[in-house]
Amino acid sequence: MTPGNIAGMAMLNGLQIVALTDHNSSKNCPAFFKQAKKLGLIPIPGMELTTAEDIHVVCLFPSLDAALSFDDYVDTLRPFVENKPEIFGNQILIGEDDEPVGTPDKLLWNAASLTVEEAYAEVTKRGGVCFPAHIDRPGNGIIETLGTFPDDPPYTAYECKQAESADALGKTYQKLTTIKRVVSSDAHRLTDIQEAVFSLDIEDEPYSSDLVRHRLIALLRGE
């Protein structure tokens, strides 16, 4: 799962826009940008944040600077627990040549002392979009954790792994039928990266990856 291998598998599977959302970190996004651009992919810098409620939310940003600013902020809100690779696995930082350049000591699994409302506000302040991850999964999903899909924060999108399960949830939580749905791989292994079966219509003229990235985030923000 190096940035280069992720970009390569995404290209082979016909994807055009790919977000890198490591758990509680955006530090590998600069390397991913370089690898994605080599293959003509549009990279989105992001993070899958674990909030104080132990809920996973997807945070996507219009620029690397915005993503890394949020990364620095989140770092101050997670307790220092030393990673034990023999238990939790290696936490590897990758350089632009797709080779390891470091291993952060702080364990990335721990939740930040940031509520869902605060996370939404901080991401929005940086021009990004924040929305609940894998709502159709019990582990760390917002519906499973809170027992409902909340009106606050005013989410404009949500992520799911299977459109069919989200359809079923929409019968109980009407708000899901009024906001954007993102169907994604939620890939933790190269073999998890799905083929291009889900799409969003984005105006891309005059074409640039930066334009598409900004318009994607605007679309997910309901703008």
pTM, rounded to two decimals: 0.96
Predicted local distance difference test score (pLDDT) of residue 161 = 85
The DSSP secondary structure of 168-207, one letter per residue, reads HHHTT-GGGGTSEEEE----SSGGGPPPS---------S-
Place of tokens 């999903």: 141
Q: Which CATH number characterizes residue 81's domain? A: 3.20.20
**Is residue 137 over pLDDT 90?**
no
Predicted local distance difference test score (pLDDT) of residue 31 = 97
Residue in 200, 192, 203, 181 with CA at minimum distance from that of residue 16: 200
Predicted local distance difference test score (pLDDT) of residue 157 = 98
Q: What is the number of structural domains in the chain?
A: 1
User: Residue 33 belongs to what domain range?
Assistant: 3-220
